[in-house]
Amino acid sequence: MINRDGQSRLTFWVTVLPPTLWVAVFFLVPLGIVWLYSFGENRGLTEIALSGTLSNYIRSLQPLYLEIFAKSVVVAGLTTLLCLIIGFPVALAIVFASEKSRAWLLLLVMLPFWTNLLIRTYALMAVLRTEGFANFTLEWLWDNASGVMTFAGLQPLGAFQPFELLYNNFAVVVGLVYVHLPFMVLPLYAALDRLDKSLMEASLDLGAGHLRTLFSIVVPLAIPGIVSGVIITFVPALGAYLTPDLLGGPDSQMIANVIERQFKRANDWPFGAALSFLLMYATFIAIAMRAYFTRGKAIDAHGI
């Protein structure tokens, strides 16, 4: 007994220590330094005095920055919602696909991860721009439709006006959805795959339609997957800066763009650190709230 106890304790430490050290050295310590900077002041060009001042936080709470925070939350929220609406049927389809095609479908979802984000964003620019592939396709369809109408003896359509698809908020949301969709699909798939399919059969046998089964049985049971999907989509979308930089228009500024500038052009690390930590506090609160709400849901589900 004693021997086994000692062994399991050793196993415990061997498994727990390396990741703990890793997190401490490469995550908590650097994060702690940035956190300390947020209470600092610039002294000259390269030095920061950690004076304990709150002025950076006071400056971050001005309406100007709060509005940018709010806008970023709206954009990230919209992105998450769209990812959920698109991702849920995709995940469901993969779960019900045949064993053989399932692996290929999952591979297709993960495939974009093998390409650098910057390259994917530039590819999207080539698709969306005025003289890009999306507009070329639409123009081709338009011209053909126009040809068919002339053939049928109708007035041809006017000249094709290309759509403004790039350099606006629309492009930012498209870019964010495109990039974050796999983050949503994978946890949803994991949750739906574990789901007991006999429950769905029971629901259908007892006379509920497909939609009713989906919303009363599948969705409530998939809540943990939905919540983790929402969180790991929303959090990186909120911190996105490359996508709004490259795809956005004159007013597509998100909070991460402002933060990035503080560390680069404005050379104001303490203020950038304060903005970063405000974002992080907000994220922690959001996650805590979700955890609280889903705990309630989980108990309900067990209660049934």
Partner 1 sequence: MNGNSLKTLFGSSSRRTFLSGIGAAAVGLTFTGGKFGKAFAAEEKKLNFYNWDTYIGENTLDSYKEASGVDVNMSLFATNDELFAKLRAGNPGYDVIVPGSEFVERMIQADLLVPLDHGKIPNIANVSKEFMEDAPYDPGRKFSMPYTWLVIGIGYRKSKVKEVPDSWKYVLDSDLYKGRIAVMSDASELYRHGFKYLGQSANAGNAELVKKVEEMLIKQKPNIKAFHEDNGQDLLLSGEVDVVMEYNGDIAQIMAEDDDIAFVVPKEGSLKQSDTLCIPKGAPHPENAHAFINYLLDAKVGADIYNTIKYPSPNAAATALMDDAYRNNAAIFPPAEILAKCEYPRYAGQELTQLLDESLTRLRAD
Binding region for partner 1 (CB under 8 A): 33, 36, 39, 42-53, 64-65, 67-68, 71, 129-132, 164, 166-167, 245-246, 249-251, 253, 257-258, 261-268, 271
Nearest distance from C-beta of residue 289 to partner 1, angstroms: 27
* Residue at 297: amino acid letter: K
Nearest distance from C-beta of residue 150 to partner 1, angstroms: 28
- 250: tokens are 């004159």
Between 229 and 248, CB nearer to partner 1? 248
Nearest distance from C-beta of residue 277 to partner 1, angstroms: 15
User: Cα–Cα distance between 281 and 84 in angstroms, integer?
Assistant: 24
User: Cα–Cα distance between 296 and 217 in angstroms, integer?
Assistant: 17
Nearest distance from C-beta of residue 124 to partner 1, angstroms: 13
Between 46 and 98, CB nearer to partner 1? 46
Nearest distance from C-beta of residue 31 to partner 1, angstroms: 14
Nearest distance from C-beta of residue 266 to partner 1, angstroms: 4
Between 191 and 268, CB nearer to partner 1? 268
Between 46 and 155, CB nearer to partner 1? 46
Give, in order, the Cα–Cα distances in Å from 188 to each of 105, 191, 210, 228. 14, 5, 19, 8
Between 168 and 294, CB nearer to partner 1? 168
Among 170, 220, 181, 189, residue whose Cα is nearest residue 80 = 181
Side-chain half-sphere CA neighbours of 224 within 13 A: 12
User: Cα–Cα distance between 150 and 183 in angstroms, integer?
Assistant: 47
Between 50 and 141, CB nearer to partner 1? 50
Task: Tell me the DSSP string of 230-293.
Answer: HHHHHHHHHT--HHHHHH--TT---HHHHHHHHHTTT--HHHHHHHHHHHHHHHHHHHHHHHHH
